[in-house]
Structure formats: C-alpha cells, structure tokens
C-alpha cells in the first residue's frame, strides 16, 4: 500500500474489506484506517461509502471475470476447460469476492451495487453455457444436456462449495463437491477430442 496514491489505496482497502466483511460489515472508518488515510480523503475522491464500494466492486468483478474467461477460452477440450475452471487455485476459505456480496442486504437493496455482481455471474454463465454447447457439437457431451442448465449447475456448485467450506472451516468440502460434479460430467463425456 506504500507506493500507491491515496485514491488507489482507498479502492484496494475497500476491496479487501468488502471481501472479508461484506458491505454491511465494513465501515468508512475501517477503510480509512486500512488505507492509512485521514477522514476527509474518502469524501474528496468519492461521494461516500456506497460510491467507493461501487468502484471497488466493479474492479473486483472485472478481475474475476478476466481470470475465469481466460481459463474457459483457453486451450483444451470443452470438458478440460470446465475442469480447469473448477480446479483452478482458489482461496476457498475466503469465499468468492463477488458471490458473497449477494448475501449482503444493502447490496441487494441497491440496484446500482447489485448490477456488477449480476452482470459478472451472468457472463460467466453464458461463457460456461457456450463451452457446454461446444462440447455437445463436438460429441464430447451428449445432446440431452442443456448448456444453460449445466452452466448454472457448475457455477452454483462453485458458489455453494464456498459455503460448505466456510461452514466446516476447511477447503475439503469445496473440493469434494467439485470432484462429484466432475464425475457426473465425465459420466456423460464421450472421451473424444
């Protein structure tokens, strides 16, 4: 945080605290202390808490979408790309920095704050759905599977995996759920390139 401008430190501090404590659980004071800034700085660069949060959330969403799309548009067969997305390294116990926001009452109550979250998960679903459809065309997945449905299942398994892991205090439950999903997808996979 040392070599950043104050505005930048505020955004990064807000991102970290929103991930850890959510919107309701994050106070301007906590952000300012984390950023090493005085009370007035935030109100110079942003209209208030929600304005700073919106900037932070948009950046987090963009980053997450970039990471996921890189894997889903990368090399390999459709199954392999979905597998890569599911098995990618994650800080499981911290939860999903985007998904966790959906449990925050003030994020859901604000159309503006919810919008980037909605858009991010929606694009991820589209990308996953496209990958499944491509797998069907290539004969890797059977035609009776629905791309949109499987996409939602894959994304839900990931988001719910975080819930199970955090409840148990261990990443194991996340991995177990993912392995189960992969075994179901493999059952349907003709091992064809």
Give the residue with the Cβ less far from its own copies, 21 or 138.
21
Q: Which listed residue (3, 39, 109, 183) binds DNA by CB under 7 A? A: 39
Give the residue with the Cβ less far from DNA, 9 or 136.
9
- The structure tokens listed for 125 are 């679903």
- The reply on whether position 105 binds DNA by CB under 7 A is no
The entry of its own copies, DNA, none that residue 183 binds, CB within 5 to 8 Å by partner kind:
its own copies
Shortest distance, position 36 Cβ to DNA, whole Å:
7
- The reply on whether position 126 binds its own copies by CB under 8 A is no
Q: Count how many Cα atoms sit within 13 Å of the Cα of residue 170 in the half-sphere of its side chain.
A: 6
Shortest distance, position 26 Cβ to DNA, whole Å:
7
Give the residue with the Cβ less far from DNA, 42 or 182.
42
Collapsed DSSP state (helix, strand, coil) of residue 147: helix
Measure the CA–CA gap between 77 and 189, rounded to whole angstroms.
Answer: 11
Q: Is the dihedral of CA 94, 98, 99, 105 positive or negative?
A: positive
Q: Which listed residue (8, 25, 43, 74) binds its own copies by CB under 8 A? A: 25
Shortest distance, position 3 Cβ to its own copies, whole Å:
29
Measure the CA–CA gap between 151 and 31, rounded to whole angstroms.
Answer: 36
The entry of its own copies, DNA, none that residue 55 binds, CB within 5 to 8 Å by partner kind:
none
SS3 content of the chain, % helix, strand, coil (to 5): 75, 0, 25
Q: Is-contact 151 72, C-beta < 8 A?
A: no
- The reply on whether position 31 binds its own copies by CB under 8 A is no
Distances (CA, A) of 132 to 95, 113, 152, 160, 185: 25, 30, 11, 20, 10
Residues in touch with DNA (CB under 7 A): 5-7, 26-30, 36-41, 43-45, 48-50
């Amino acid at each position: 945080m040392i070599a950043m401008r104050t505005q930048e430190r505020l955004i990064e501090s807000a991102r970290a605290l929103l991930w850890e404590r959510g919107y309701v659980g994050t106070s301007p004071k906590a952000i300012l202390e984390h950023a090493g800034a005085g009370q007035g700085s935030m109100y110079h660069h942003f209209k208030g808490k929600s304005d700073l949060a919106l900037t932070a959330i948009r950046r987090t969403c963009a980053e997450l979408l970039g990471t996921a799309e890189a894997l889903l548009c990368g090399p390999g067969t459709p199954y392999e790309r979905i597998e890569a997305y599911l098995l990618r390294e994650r800080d499981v116990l911290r939860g999903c920095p985007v998904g966790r926001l959906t449990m925050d009452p003030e994020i859901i109550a604000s159309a503006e704050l919810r919008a980037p979250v909605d858009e991010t998960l929606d694009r991820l679903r589209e990308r996953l759905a496209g990958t499944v459809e491509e797998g069907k065309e290539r004969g890797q997945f059977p035609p009776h599977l629905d791309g949109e449905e499987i996409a939602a299942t894959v994304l839900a398994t990931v988001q719910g995996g975080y819930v199970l892991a955090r409840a148990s205090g261990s990443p194991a439950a996340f991995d177990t759920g993912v392995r189960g999903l992969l075994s179901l997808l493999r059952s349907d996979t003709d091992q064809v390139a």
